[in-house]
Structure 1
Amino acid sequence: MRVVLAGGGTAGHIEPALALADALRRNDPNTGIVCLGTERGLETRLVPQRGYELALIPPVPLPRTLTPQLLTVPGRLRGAINAAAAVIDQAQADVLVGFGGYVATPGYLAARKRKIPIIVHEANPKPGLANKLGARFTEHVAVSHADSPLPNPTFVGIPLRREIATLDRLAMGDKARSYFGLLPDLPTLLIFGGSQGARALNQAAVAAAPYFRQAGIQVLHIVGPKNTEEPEPVSGGPQYVTIPYCDRMDLAYAAADMAMCRAGAMTCAELAAVALPAVYVPLPIGNGEQHLNAEPIVAAGGGLLVDNAELSPDWIAQNLLPVLADPARVANMSEAAGRMGRRDADAALAQMVYDVVRSAGAAR
């Protein structure tokens, strides 16, 4: 089987695509996989790092408003479609699986042009423009929110990396805390804001460092490579460990009793899968999708939700610290978060790929 994956741009598009690629290769190491991408996206680093072939096509971001740039889109899109079609031809693809983002639009149009089956995967509650388009060309639409507005939705969840999907947090807890230089027996809060960090989270958390120490809570804070916030070092007492970047998020999750973070689709899916409760601070821009990502988990009892503008050291002291000081409540929140998680989305989406390819082969 030969598969083209179109999921470039952000980690939220790339990681599910790579998780699917891993699942397909686990089932059959001879599966041919090519990832579509552009020179602008994180895929230039993430895809080769995971050992997959990356084929670059011209980027064609679509303007959201009427600007002179809109006039250049048809010509540039035509070039990107032709480039994607050439990749499909060279790969002799049996199917194209798209995950949204601007690399997916030319991928969908090229697949339609070449008459090969299309599968759309939508991670967010509000579909983007690319997946709205792709869903018009296929009956095979995989979603991570059961009430997705896309036509013909099949709920599968978000494919996750195996080290996350198979993580046993409790079994790994002591090893993980030792890895980060944390003590084994103190309540632990993990703070992170995505690959670049999040200034509002960083500032509020660092300012709350005295509160954490007074409450006997240690902190692992991934501040992001461009951020310099760091609390004043204090000898003795609970530690506040800051690191610029973490390439072992499985260990970071295992080290923590609770997290404070943004609410991207991948973040919510990973935390629910590993049953780690969280304070979700949705990014205050965009179409409100981060709020929608966190809402079901919070409603089920698996976390707290606070607007970016309301997050402050006082809010942390009044709302988060009492939770961390109550092990029974943390345990209940962990169970609630875990009930909302799905660890086998990669296998479910891989099965959809097999079914679609077999069906297309039988039709021929």
Structure 2
Amino acid sequence: MRVVLTGGGTGGHIYPALAVAKEILRHEPQAAFLYIGTKRGLESIIVPKHNIPFQSVEISGFKRSLSLENFRTIMKFFRAVSDAKRMLKEFKPDVVIGTGGYVCGPVVYAATKLGIRTVIHEQNVEPGITNKFLSRYVNKVAVSFEDSLPYFPSAKTIVTGNPRATEVVSSNPEKGRSNLQIPAGKKIVLLVGGSRGARAINEATLAAIPQFSQYPDCHFVYVTGDVHYESIKERIDKQREKPTNFTVVPYVDQMPDLLSATHVIVNRAGASFLAEITALGIPAILIPSPYVTNNHQVKNARGLEKEGAAEVILESELNEAILMNKIDAILHQEGRWQKMREASLSLGMPEAATNLYRCLA
């Protein structure tokens, strides 16, 4: 099988594509891949590290208001379609898989015009404009949530879950602990705002650090994001009370291993991360980003909250008191953690990558 993968801009679009590639190789070890992204997106850095050939087209997103920039974007789109057609004719794929982001638009559209089988995957509850556009042309639409079904043509849409869920179920909790030298008997409370960090989560966590020592049975792991690490570390070093049950790091390379050892997580509500934590059944406190298109993280988070798998704090309401009250309730209210864990596991789809692989036939 020859497969073109496309998706970019954020890890939430890239890692599901890489998870699908891994699943395809499990079934078809001789499969060949090409990844088409943009030079400016994270995919240009992440994909080559996975030994997948990478090529790029130039494309950008539409502005919400009428502008000359949108006209330029339309021109870029048609140039990118032409470039993608050339790449596809050279590679001769059996299928093209799009996992979201602006780059999917021209690449998947080009594939449909060349008569190549196409599959797109939508990670969020409410789909982005690119996948809405492509759904009219592709052979199959895979979605992570049942709530996404009304947005797409019913005859070709299937709930598969998010392929990242499959990646984490085989992770190693002992390795997750040992990598950060966390004692085996401690419950891990993981606070993370994504690879680039989240200022609101960072500020609330900084203010809450003196309270961590009140939980001797827990170890708090604080992932600041690379951008904020040096300034945050400097502020922590100046604090009078620095608990011993606390680790601060800029980034975690093997996040699935740490997740599999985590007892409670505080995080944004990106779709891929939610797929991972529900596959593992981790009770969550979600602080959705208010800076994303269509406010989709709030909709993702509310879905978990409705099922009892998560607590939601809007960024505008976040402070250290509210954060620590919710952590304390999950840790110490009788039966609360177990109920949330069971609710989370009921939403998880660890077979997601296999489900999506079946869509390629």
The answer to whether TM tops 0.5 is yes
CA deviations over 1:301-360 (Å, ceiling 9, x no partner) = 21211111111111123222232234742232212211110111111111110x2xxxxx
* Residue 315 (structure 1) aligns with: 322
SS of the residue 1:55 aligns to: strand
* Residue 70 (structure 1) aligns with: 70
**For the residues of structure 2 that align with 1:208 and 1:304, how far apart are their CA atoms?**
18
Does structure 1 retain, via aligned residues, the 8 Å contact 2:209–2:243? no
Structure 1 residue 156 and structure 2 residue 190: aligned?
no
Taking only aligned residues, the RMSD between alpha carbons, in angstroms, comes to 1.9
CA deviations over 1:147-170 (Å, ceiling 9, x no partner) = 2211132000110175413236xx
* Residue 308 (structure 2) aligns with: 301
CA deviations over 1:19-62 (Å, ceiling 9, x no partner) = 11111111112112111111011111111111111111122322
* Residue 220 (structure 2) aligns with: 219
Q: Give the counterpart letter for 1:71 in structure 2.
A: F
**For the residues of structure 2 that align with 1:218 and 1:24, how far apart are their CA atoms?**
37
* Residue 207 (structure 1) aligns with: 207
* Residue 267 (structure 1) aligns with: 273
SS of the residue 2:25 aligns to: helix
SS of the residue 1:208 aligns to: helix
Change (3 A) 1:167 1:336: farther
Change (3 A) 1:81 1:210: same
Does structure 2 retain, via aligned residues, the 8 Å contact 1:36–1:55? yes
The offset of 1:237, in angstroms, is: 5.4
SS of the residue 2:61 aligns to: coil
* Residue 5 (structure 2) aligns with: 5
**For the residues of structure 2 that align with 1:236 and 1:195, how far apart are their CA atoms?**
24
CA deviations over 1:85-125 (Å, ceiling 9, x no partner) = 01110111122111121111101221122121221211111
**For the residues of structure 1 that align with 2:41 and 2:134, how far apart are their CA atoms?**
20
Does structure 1 retain, via aligned residues, the 8 Å contact 2:165–2:352? no
Which of residues 336, 344, 358 is equivalent to 2:343?
336
SS of the residue 1:284 aligns to: coil
Change (3 A) 1:48 1:327: farther
Does structure 2 retain, via aligned residues, the 8 Å contact 1:23–1:350? yes
Structure 1 residue 134 and structure 2 residue 140: aligned?
no
Q: Give the counterpart letter for 1:142 in structure 2.
A: A
The offset of 1:139, in angstroms, is: 4.2
* Residue 57 (structure 1) aligns with: 57
**For the residues of structure 1 that align with 2:337 and 2:329, how far apart are their CA atoms?**
10
**For the residues of structure 1 that align with 2:127 and 2:345, how far apart are their CA atoms?**
25
Q: Give the counterpart letter for 2:262 in structure 1.
A: A
Identity of aligned residues (%): 32
**For the residues of structure 1 that align with 2:295 and 2:89, how far apart are their CA atoms?**
38
Q: Give the counterpart letter for 1:306 in structure 2.
A: I
**For the residues of structure 1 that align with 2:13 and 2:323, how far apart are their CA atoms?**
31
Structure 1 residue 36 and structure 2 residue 15: aligned?
no
**For the residues of structure 2 that align with 1:264 and 1:146, how far apart are their CA atoms?**
17
Structure 1 residue 96 and structure 2 residue 100: aligned?
no
SS of the residue 2:204 aligns to: helix
* Residue 171 (structure 2) aligns with: 167
**For the residues of structure 1 that align with 2:315 and 2:110, how far apart are their CA atoms?**
40
Does structure 1 retain, via aligned residues, the 8 Å contact 2:7–2:13? yes
Does structure 2 retain, via aligned residues, the 8 Å contact 1:166–1:343? no
* Residue 360 (structure 1) aligns with: none
Does structure 2 retain, via aligned residues, the 8 Å contact 1:273–1:338? yes
**For the residues of structure 1 that align with 2:334 and 2:280, how far apart are their CA atoms?**
17
* Residue 278 (structure 1) aligns with: 284
Does structure 1 retain, via aligned residues, the 8 Å contact 2:270–2:297? yes
**For the residues of structure 2 that align with 1:141 and 1:163, how far apart are their CA atoms?**
21
The offset of 1:176, in angstroms, is: 2.9
**Which segment is superposed worse, 200-209 or 69-78?**
69-78
**Which segment is superposed worse, 186-195 or 261-270?**
186-195
Gap regions ≥5 residues in structure 1? 356-364
Structure 1 residue 196 and structure 2 residue 196: aligned?
yes
- Work out the number of aligned pairs and report it: 350
What TM-score comes out, normalization by structure 1 length? 0.91
Does structure 2 retain, via aligned residues, the 8 Å contact 1:187–1:325? no
Change (3 A) 1:290 1:297: same
SS of the residue 2:142 aligns to: strand
Structure 1 residue 45 and structure 2 residue 45: aligned?
yes
CA deviations over 1:240-282 (Å, ceiling 9, x no partner) = 2100111111222133210000000011111101111110000
What TM-score comes out, normalization by structure 2 length? 0.91
Which of residues 354, 357, 361 is equivalent to 1:350?
357
Does structure 2 retain, via aligned residues, the 8 Å contact 1:15–1:161? no
Does structure 1 retain, via aligned residues, the 8 Å contact 2:166–2:352? no
Does structure 2 retain, via aligned residues, the 8 Å contact 1:122–1:143? yes
